Structure 1
Amino acid sequence: MLIVHHLQRSQSDRIVWLCEELGLNYELRTYKRSPFLSPPELQALHPTKAAPIIQDGAITLGESGAITEYILTKYGDGRLSIAATAPNYADYLYFLHFANGYFQPALMRYGLVLKAGISDEVLNAKLARRGMQQSLQILEDRLRGNTWLAGEEFTAADVMVVTTLTTMRLFVPYSLQGYEAIMAYLGRVVEREAYRRALEKGDPGLEPVVGGGGGEGLCI
């Protein structure tokens, strides 16, 4: 059986959600932070020492993007992905990798600048803010004319991106005020039954961070 190792309040919520969307039969093992990092028993499973991690028979795999592609290929039966022959295949592929390839690194750079208290006049701070603004604007522009990131069909690209718009804001607060299309998109996300089930199973009691406010870091 597929085993999903999920660190609560982390990007591994993507994998729990993905499994729920696909209706897979899987075993979920949850872990609390210790106090901020993965606990020792989770770290021992993989060289990355971080969630998500899955086990499938003799296979142990880390990295949320790789795990997502593994599950889609082995268990998806074409669901939550776009065929290479479809006109929106490139859009799907771009946003499937957008979170880990561009958006999340930009968020981490922005968070480091905020934590260090670097003035907005410093070049690194300007670049960090610009990266966040560009990330959000790319999503805003895409969602103004599309229900989901790949088009009118919900896909794994949405599963990958939403975590950076929600869970990661627990660690690097930023505002979505002014990004009306993104806010409407998150409203559609929280209406999905599989999303609510994933939260209840993986992070019981955690309210999804889908509001517009963001504390100290305002990216508007």
Structure 2
Amino acid sequence: MITLYHSKDTRSLRCLWLLEELELAHELELVAYPARLKQPQFLDVNANGTVPFLVDGAVQMRESCAILLYLASRYGDGRCQVEADSPLYGAMLDWTFYGETSLAVPLATALRYSMFLPREQRVPAVAQDYREQMLQRLPVLEQALEHSPYLCGETLTVADISVGYGLLLGELFGLAEHYPPRLAAYLERLKARPALVRARAVGA
């Protein structure tokens, strides 16, 4: 049985969303965030104290994008992925990691400098700079969606789940008003997917 350790609105939402898309049986363990402060016993499970943390038999994984690729390739049976011999395979990999490095990382850093550090160490200007960095990464996504509803064609893949989480995180920051039109419509399509609706409800 797959076990996912999850906290609301964190990167583990990506993994829970994919589990729902693939309709994979799993156990969900909710973790208070940040665990080091609110649930230190979680450090006995994952010494890093981070979510997601996925356990699948002897397999233990901590990185959300790696978990997406693992679940899709091992259990997807062609769903939510592009096959390695497809011309779109490289794009799927690229966008999957783009969602992390170009969207989620700047926003997580902004969160750190605006909320999570001790008050005397917070730097609002640095937080704002990282929010703007994230917004600067959006035009290429807008362009990529010009001819198809998803980043790799007509069907959702792990790339959309990764990028979609970054856009959801930006929405929580109040940045959605700056999303260009196609990207805003894309996010609404993602939010309407039953699997994401279920994941957000269960994870809450």
TM-score, with structure 2 as normaliser: 0.83
Indicate how the Cα distance of structure 1 residues 10 and 113 shifts in structure 2: closer, same or farther if over 3 A, else same: closer
Checking the alignment, whether the CA contact within 8 Å between 2:170 and 2:176 is kept in structure 1 is no
Indicate how the Cα distance of structure 1 residues 2 and 117 shifts in structure 2: closer, same or farther if over 3 A, else same: closer
Partner of 1:185: 186
Deviation at 1:37, TM superposition (A): 5.4
- Alignment-mate amino acid for residue 116 of structure 1: V
Equivalent runs, 1:5-154 vs 2, <5 Å: 5-33=5-33, 39-110=39-110, 116-118=123-125, 128=130, 131-154=133-156
User: Which ranges in structure 1 are unaligned for 5 or more consecutive residues?
Assistant: 119-123, 204-220
- Alignment-mate amino acid for residue 89 of structure 1: Y
Moved beyond 6 Å, runs of 4+: 124-127
Structure 1 Cα separation of the partners of residues 46 and 36 of structure 2: 18
Deviation at 1:79, TM superposition (A): 1.5
Deviation at 1:113, TM superposition (A): 6.8
Deviation at 1:39, TM superposition (A): 2.0
TM-score, with structure 1 as normaliser: 0.78
Deviation at 1:40, TM superposition (A): 1.6
> Residue deviations 1:97-123, cap 9 Å, x none?
1112222233345556766233xxxxx
State the identity %.
30
Structure 1 Cα separation of the partners of residues 127 and 171 of structure 2: 19
Deviation at 1:196, TM superposition (A): 1.1
Deviation at 1:166, TM superposition (A): 0.9
- Alignment-mate amino acid for residue 191 of structure 2: V
Q: Name the structure with the higher helix share.
A: 2
